[in-house]
Amino acid sequence: MRIVSSLLSGLLSSADQVSPPLDAEAHCDLPCGVYDPAQARIEAEAVKSITERFNASDDELFRTRAIVIREQRAELLKHHLWVLWTDYFTPEHLAAFPNLHDVFWRATKKAGEAKKTADVAVADDLLNQVAEIEKIFWATKNA
């Protein structure tokens, strides 16, 4: 494998000398179209739905499973928010939306709170905060 890697590296270096690679410019990791807050919203909706179903059940086994799944969904939500926050949004977006860091901080903290409570109001607030992020996202995406 090492020999193949060495040969490939040498071949690519030779090709670069004949025709240097072009620089690609993008404001994010990949060309636009990759990032979307939809998955964060789906996870927030799942947290709310699971919380409602948890509250409606008397089955202890179901409730235990619901807690585990709600925690997983909330953690996935935090992941999707962090990807948007750290990979999509730029200093230019922050200049246009000076509250951007606070919006993300509050949403990720609320996702953590939603993992620990059966209060549907917390899940509703989480959905509202994700909606605020979606609004900012689409304002920057459509600009």
Domains of the chain from N-terminus onward: 30-141 (1.20.120.400)
- Pair of tokens at residue 30: 């990949």
For the segment 53-92, what is each residue's pLDDT rounded down to a tens digit?
Answer: 999 999 999 999 999 999 999 999 999 999 999 989 999 9
For residue 4, what pLDDT is reported?
Answer: 66
Contact 127, 49 (CB under 8 A): no
Contact 114, 74 (CB under 8 A): yes
Return phi, psi of residue 115, to 5°: -70, -25
Q: What angle do CA 94, 77, 46 make, to 5 degrees?
A: 135
Separation CA 92–CA 74 (nearest Å): 29
Q: With a cut of 60, say whether residue 32 has pLDDT above it.
A: no
For the segment 122-141, what is each residue's pLDDT rounded down to a tens digit?
Answer: 999 999 999 999 999 999 98
Confidence tier at 28 by pLDDT (50, 70, 90): low
SS (H, E, C) the chain: CHHHHHHHHHHHHHHHHHCCCCCCCCCCCCCCCCCCCHHHHHHHHHHHHHHHHHHHCCCHHHHHHHHHHHHHHHHHHHHHHHHHHHHHCCHHHHHHCCCHHHHHHHHHHHHHHHHCCCCHHHHHHHHHHHHHHHHHHHHHHCC
For residue 20, what pLDDT is reported?
Answer: 76
For residue 11, what pLDDT is reported?
Answer: 73
For the segment 42-57, what is each residue's pLDDT rounded down to a tens digit?
Answer: 999 999 999 999 999 9
Q: With a cut of 80, say whether residue 8 has pLDDT above it.
A: no
For the segment 102-116, what is each residue's pLDDT rounded down to a tens digit?
Answer: 999 999 999 999 999
